[in-house]
Amino acid sequence: MGVRLAAVFPAFAAALALVACGSDEEHAATQPAAPPAKTTKTAESKVFTVPDELPPRERRDETRTRTAPARPSAPSGGAPSDAEVERQLAEALGVASSGNVVDQAGLTEDGLATVPPGAPAEVAQIINAANKVARAPYRYGGGHGGGVGGDETWVDTAYDCSGSMSFALASAGLLDSPLNSTGFAAWGKPGPGKWVTLFANEGHAFMVVAGLRFDTVERARTGTRWGQAYSDVSGFAVRHPPGL
């Protein structure tokens, strides 16, 4: 009996093993399938096409030294000073350099005055009218009526000192009739004006407009009534048009 059990037991154990484990194929069939590997979807670039493989990164030459960018150089001599700007402006306008360049009339090569940039309309009218007679001949009593045609009040073939002044001032609407030098000594307001200053006495009259002198005496020297203002005006009454 004992011999029979010993012979049967190995066969029973082998059968039990087959029942419990099954074949390799059966075992594989009974296991749950592994989920498929997830794949990451690459978004397409809207700027450029991304290559599958990037080229190798370029290696810099570590021995090469960097050169710092050059600093911008400052303008030669720096920014112009106020005095330089004033001088250049004075040269452009044809005036003597001073602190009031925009208020000064210039003098052209033809001996005519230029209207300064800051001048009011009346001053511009005075200068433009004075230019029309700046080179006109001198004649005592000229410009005081009885000129061209015998009945013209302002237009004449020649002008004296007060006659040429009257012509210029009347063009700006400041006079209704010509004045002689004595009349100008009491005309307008006393003292110098900002733009126009009259100098008059019993024998002579002239005026300074925007820094330039308008005077028949100057015409005798240079051929034009425009010139630089006198430094000494003693002996003359000093007047100016109201508001100027």
What sign for the dihedral angle of Cα 157, 171, 180, 164?
negative
DSSP bridge pairs for 240? 189
CATH class of 94-240: alpha beta
All structural domains of the chain with their residue ranges: 94-240
What's the alpha-carbon Rg for the chain, to the nearest Å?
54
For residue 193, how far is the Cα from the chain centroid?
A: 32
Tokens of 110: 């033809």
What sign for the dihedral angle of Cα 114, 116, 122, 123?
negative
**What is residue 106's predicted lDDT score, i.e. its pLDDT?**
92
pLDDT class for 154, splitting at 50, 70, 90?
confident
Does the pTM of the predicted model rise above 0.75? no
pLDDT surpasses 60 at 184: yes
pLDDT class for 232, splitting at 50, 70, 90?
confident
For the stretch 38-74, pLDDT in tens is 544 444 444 434 445 545 555 555 555 455 555 544 4
170: three-class secondary structure by DSSP: helix
- The Cα–Cα gap between 78 and 72 comes to 13
